Amino acid sequence: MKPNNTIREIGDALQSADSIWIIPHELMDGDAFGSAIALCKSLRKQGKTAWILLEDKIPDYLEFMDKGYCTYDSDLIPEPDVSLCIDCGDKTRFKKRVAAFEKGRITVCLDHHTTSRRVFDLNYVDGKAAATGEIVFDLLSEMKWPLDKEIAEALFVAITTDTGNFQYSNTTQRSHEIVIQLYDKGMNFSKVSAEIYQNESINKFKMESKVIDSAELFADGLVVVATVTQKMLKECNSTMEEAEGIVSKLRSIRGVEISVLIKEYPDGCMKVGLRAKHTGDVAVIASKFGGGGHIKAAGCTICDSIENVKRMIVEEVTEQLKA
């Protein structure tokens, strides 16, 4: 693995470039997109041709930030001086854009994930940064590229989403210090927060209510299981995509160690989402049913009735928690 370049070296490469691809990871979150927007606008203000190249849809809650910075057309910059991947450090995180990325005369990586392997021409990976947005802030400061309201708001999105609103353990004093400086640019953080967090359909709310109403505790309250059926979705005019996140909410129930969400699909198969709080390892459980994932977040698909799936999963989970 290469050593880090300096933030100045990255800045100089961008300063020398005329055209830049900015490539956030697939299934963008607030940090990937906010960082990309802030950098893209900054580069354009420096007179560069800069575009954010995407491969999938911008999530609804982040759409408000795109004011003409994004494209799906990989021919828009045929010969980029720089291709910069942001909030990721691995081509598997932007699979459909690798060919466009590789056209860059210089490839650059800006990231805060410690798993980033620094395999590009220039790399700056800071695992201590709570968000890649903090690194972009440092880059703009280093280059004396001035922030404006829009850039400040994009950086706020990056930092506030990746720190769980300044609650996750990755948050540092530096996160707060940067935010204080973003206020100076006149950012409307509460409007931005409303865009991100106060923008869910009532249908989603009602569907979630039904799902949580279905929740049952097992193993003396260590396990919670809830179900999303096609019937619930229909009744609430909601979609399975809107059920994303419920399994994490269930984990926040007092005393629960492992939360399970059984999602019924029209083909009669069940997708099972699993989350662990402190000690559980849901990757092991998911793998027993042909699935996989991380220790604290995993999933599998089982083609059986809801009741059977529930019974099988509860058995496995209880066995693990007893061991």
Q: Which of 4, 71, 141, 193 binds a second copy (CB under 8 A)?
A: 193
Rounded to whole angstroms, what are the CA distances from 236 to 33, 53, 263?
Answer: 30, 35, 15
| CB nearer a second copy, residue 92 or residue 173 | 173
Would you count residue 198 as binding a second copy (CB under 8 A)?
Answer: yes
Q: 């505790």: which residue's tokens?
A: 217
d(CA 69, CA 78): 17
Alpha helices in 26-166 (DSSP H): 30-45, 98-102, 132-143, 149-162
Q: Which helix (H) or strand (E) holds 153?
A: helix 149-162
Taking the least distance from each CB to a second copy, the nearer of 55 and 195 is 195
Using CB under 8 A as the binding rule, whether residue 241 contacts a second copy is answered as: no
CA angle 167, 171, 173 (to 5 degrees): 115
- Position 176 contacts a second copy (CB under 8 A): yes
Cα separation values, 253 from 25, 112, 256, 312, Å: 31, 30, 6, 22
Count of residues in contact with a second copy, rule CB under 8 A: 46
Piece in contact with a second copy (CB under 8 A), picked from 29-37, 110-118, 137-145, 167-175: 167-175
Residue 45 CB burial class (10 angstroms; 0-12, 13-18, ≥19)? middle
Query: What is residue 78's three-state secondary structure?
Result: coil
Q: Is 167 helix (H, G, I), strand (E, B) or coil?
A: coil
Binds a second copy (CB under 8 A): choice among 1, 79, 95, 167: 167
| Structure tokens belonging to residue 144 | 């004396």
Return d(Cα 155, Cα 184) in angstroms, integer. Answer: 13
Q: Which of 212, 240, 284, 297 binds a second copy (CB under 8 A)?
A: 212
For the CB of residue 202, give the shortest distance to a second copy in the complex, in Å: 5
The only residue of 71, 201, 301, 318 in contact with a second copy, by rule CB under 8 A: 201
Strand partners for 69: none
The stretch among 8-16, 136-144, 249-257, 266-274 that binds a second copy (CB under 8 A) is 249-257
Q: Scan residues 56-95 and list those touching a second copy (CB under 8 A).
A: 60
DSSP-derived secondary structure letter, 4: P
Query: What minimum distance in Å lies between the beta carbon of 14 and a second copy?
Result: 29
**263: contact with a second copy by CB under 8 A:** no
Is 235 among the residues that bind a second copy (CB under 8 A)? no
Q: Which residues bind a second copy (CB under 8 A)?
A: 60, 160, 164-169, 171-173, 176-177, 179-180, 183, 189-191, 193-194, 197-202, 205-206, 208-210, 212-213, 215, 217, 221, 224, 249, 251-254, 256, 277-278
